[in-house]
DNA sequence: CACCAGGCAGTGC
DNA sequence: GCACTGCATGGT
């Protein structure tokens, strides 16, 4: 299978705020993914995507089985701005990350910026995971002071709460994959430290629930400015994908720089 | 110094 | 139900 940049763009997908363990140097992208023993490292360049297409793990990670051309065509009929967002970065895809890694990462993300999130997660991985993303079990027994030392601040107890809920089975992540979406959100949000935004990101990026539509500060700007009085329902059953095009466009294009 | 970052919990009304 | 505030930390 031969992929074009329009079908998969590394530079538009990896730094679009979905995942936090990647870097780029001289055109070579390094992506780290997976928890504990399932840890994997990918090295790939845009000019040769065969390390992704030839490896089922990374093919799944980059969601190669979903037809984004149809989705973009549908989205583009919604409004000129939605079409513009699709054309701006057509090679964005929704990553299929480990559910625990996604959930934990987005607990870290709250009221934080992407650069600092990446640093914190990297320190958590070396301190608790020997390079791999730490297991829920490892973090369930972490000391809050240690977590604060890594820069987690007020999120330290949230991480421990979340890890314990997963370990003790109050949250069964795999069951959330097929559950009624509102019920799945409600289960996640029972944990102190998980609100609607973190729950939606975990479901979208960790459990591939494309119906989730995370509303962060950028998406609130987009909706208020471009779709006033509307909600995610105008984007259909895969609203989460539309969300990602809009989020990336809003954050990197400069279009919203001087809009309240 | 202020304000912000892929928010959330707590409080008051 | 909705509006407001404090929160750790590092960057502008």
- Find and list the nucleotides of strand B having atoms within 7 Å of a protein beta carbon: 4-10
Length A49 CA → B10 C1' (Å): 49
Length A113 CA → C6 C1' (Å): 19
Question: Which pLDDT does position A259 carry in this prediction?
Answer: 54
Question: Is the Cβ atom of A145 within 7 Å of strand C at any atom?
Answer: no
Question: Is the Cβ atom of A110 within 7 Å of strand C at any atom?
Answer: no
Q: Which of A38, A12, A83 shows the shortest CA–CA distance to A242?
A: A83
Contact A150, A123 (CB under 8 A): yes
Kindly calculate the radius of gyration of chain A based on its CA atoms and give it in whole angstroms: 18
Below-50 pLDDT ranges, chain A: 260
Question: Which pLDDT does position A136 carry in this prediction?
Answer: 98
Question: Is the Cβ atom of A157 within 7 Å of strand C at any atom?
Answer: no
Question: Which pLDDT does position A2 carry in this prediction?
Answer: 86
Length A54 CA → B9 C1' (Å): 46
| Nucleotide nearest to A151 in CA–C1' terms | C9
Residue A170 φ then ψ, to 5°: -65, -35
| Nucleotide nearest to A119 in CA–C1' terms | C10
Question: Which pLDDT does position A260 carry in this prediction?
Answer: 45
* Token representation of residue A26: 């001289």
| Nucleotide nearest to A120 in CA–C1' terms | C9
| Nucleotide nearest to A110 in CA–C1' terms | B7
Question: Which pLDDT does position A257 carry in this prediction?
Answer: 79
Question: Which pLDDT does position A195 carry in this prediction?
Answer: 98
DSSP labels for A106-117? Answer: HHHHTT--HHHH
Length A208 CA → B10 C1' (Å): 32
Question: Is the Cβ atom of A77 within 7 Å of strand C at any atom?
Answer: no
Question: Which pLDDT does position A252 carry in this prediction?
Answer: 95
- State in Å, rounded, how far the first CA of chain A is from the last one: 44
């Amino acid at each position: 299978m031969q992929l074009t940049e329009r079908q998969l763009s590394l530079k538009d997908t990896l730094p679009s705020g979905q995942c936090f363990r990647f870097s780029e140097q001289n055109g070579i992208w390094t992506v780290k993914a997976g928890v504990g023993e399932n840890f994997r490292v990918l090295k790939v360049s845009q000019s040769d995507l065969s390390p992704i297409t030839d490896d089922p793990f990374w093919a799944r990670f980059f969601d190669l089985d979903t037809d984004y051309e149809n989705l973009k065509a549908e989205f583009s009929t919604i409004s000129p701005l939605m079409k513009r967002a699709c054309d701006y970065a057509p090679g964005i895809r929704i990553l299929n990350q480990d559910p625990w890694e996604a959930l934990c990462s987005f607990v870290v993300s709250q009221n934080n910026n992407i650069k600092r999130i990446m640093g914190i997660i990297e320190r958590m991985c070396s301190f608790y995971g020997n390079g791999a993303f730490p297991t829920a079990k490892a973090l369930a027994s972490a000391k809050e002071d240690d977590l604060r030392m890594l820069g987690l601040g007020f999120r330290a107890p949230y991480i421990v709460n979340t890890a314990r809920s997963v370990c003790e089975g109050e949250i069964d992540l795999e069951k959330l994959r097929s559950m009624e979406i509102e019920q799945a959100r409600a289960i996640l949000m029972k944990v102190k430290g998980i609100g609607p935004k973190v729950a939606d990101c975990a479901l979208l990026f960790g459990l591939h629930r494309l119906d989730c539509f995370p509303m962060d500060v950028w998406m609130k700007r987009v909706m208020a400015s471009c779709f006033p009085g509307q909600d995610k329902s105008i984007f259909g059953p895969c609203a989460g994908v539309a969300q990602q095009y809009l989020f990336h466009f809003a954050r990197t294009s400069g279009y919203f720089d001087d809009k309240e």
